[in-house]
Amino acid sequence: MSSETLHTSNQVWPWPDSLDALVAAPSHHTLLMGNERMRVVRTRILPGQIVPVHTHRWPGVLFIIAWSDLIRRDPEGNVTLDTRQLPDKPTPNLPLWQEPLTPHTVENVGGAEFNAVQVEMKYPIEVSRHTLKFRRLPDSYAIVRLAPNAAVPEWATKGDLTSVTRTADELSVVCPTADIPRDIDPGPRWICFKLEGPFPFSQTGVLLSFIEPLSHSGVSILTISTYDTDYVLIPQEHVARAVDLLREAGHGLL
């Protein structure tokens, strides 16, 4: 199952944290548990789905729960693995060693869901860890999904932070909860932390340094990156715990 892999023990990981599987493809990767030595990640891909470009930085043991054929491609679209060409298919629930994976996409070309759990071993890798300053924005925030062809509403462009993203599937709006009309369900409330930038594009490890202690403790996040800095949204009910975790990791609330 390994292709486009990299042996990383005591080597520099050259790809940005934004490509980590949990950040770049959260719809297909779920953190089951993690600490400073390992993490356990579940991967689920439905038939026909294509997982966005992402990486798996650490080697580990892969357990395939449900099998389906996959095509792995590099960011330029070149096929690096087509499991339909394998002489033998992996046996479910038997451990397989998986080296770190460089940037790639995965397409499920079979007729069933692909479901796997990988226990990733955090070998020592020379990667920067940053202690950061951050501030909490005053509003509570909401994440609203509108139809993909909907016009951008006026209320979606007010406040200290708004984010409007249009894809083929949706118009996604992040904005202060108070600005949302009463006839639209704002859903759960979120609070927003702003990292004190600016950060040059060449600087790596910034976002991962901030979100890793939250992710390891099961705190849900949504990240928004701008030209100068990053914003991290956290469910309102977890704000006190999140601040404690971030302070324990050395980050400072302004």
Domain of 180, in residue numbers: 133-253
What does the pLDDT look like over 179-214, one tens digit per residue? 999 888 888 999 999 999 888 887 778 888 899 888
Q: What is the CATH number of the domain that holds 83?
A: 2.60.120.10
User: Does residue 3 surpass a pLDDT of 50?
Assistant: no
**Placement of tokens 């479901």 in the chain:** 115
Give the Å distances, CA to CA, from 3 to 100, 104, 171: 9, 10, 35
Side chain identity at residue 154, one-letter code: E
Residue 9: per-residue pLDDT = 41
Q: How far is residue 208's CA from residue 121's CA, in Å, rounded to a whole number?
A: 17
pLDDT, tens only, 44-86 = 999 999 999 999 999 999 999 999 999 999 999 999 999 999 8
Whether residue 244 sits in one domain with residue 138: yes
What does pTM read for this prediction?
0.52
Contact 206, 130 (CB under 8 A): yes
In this prediction, residues 81-105 reach a mean pLDDT of: 91
Q: Are 219 and 100 in contact (CB under 8 A)?
A: no
Q: In terms of pLDDT, which residue wins out, 147 or 2?
A: 147
CA distance 214 to 26: 15
Q: How confident is the model at residue 123 (pLDDT cuts 50, 70, 90)?
A: low
The H or E element spanning position 30 is: strand 29-34
Residue pair 242/212 in contact by the 8 Å Cβ criterion: no
Q: Tell me: the pLDDT tens digits for 154-179?
A: 999 888 889 999 999 999 999 999 99
- Longest CA–CA separation in the chain, Å: 58
Q: Based on the domain organization, do 173 and 71 belong to the same domain? A: no
pLDDT tens-digit map of 236-245? 999 999 999 9
Q: Determine the Cα–Cα distance for residues 223 and 199; give it in Å rounded to an integer.
A: 15
Out of 91, 121, 151, a domain closes at 121
- Tell me if 3 is assigned to some domain: no
Kindly state whether residues 144 and 240 are assigned to the same domain: yes
Domain termination site, one of 93, 121, 149: 121
Mean pLDDT of the chain: 89
Contact status, residue 22 vs residue 57, Cβ threshold 8 Å: no
User: How many domains are there within the chain?
Assistant: 2
pLDDT at 217 over 50: yes
Residue 127 inside a domain? The answer is no
Asked if residue 8 is part of any domain, the answer here is: no
Cα–Cα distance for residue pair 86/83, rounded to 1 Å: 5
- From 84, 101, 121, the end of a domain falls on 121
Same domain, 76 and 148: no
Higher pLDDT, 91 or 68: 68
One-letter amino acid identity for 246?
A: L
Domain co-membership, 234 together with 204 = yes
Q: Which CATH number characterizes residue 240's domain?
A: 3.30.2130.10
Q: Is residue 192 part of a domain?
A: yes
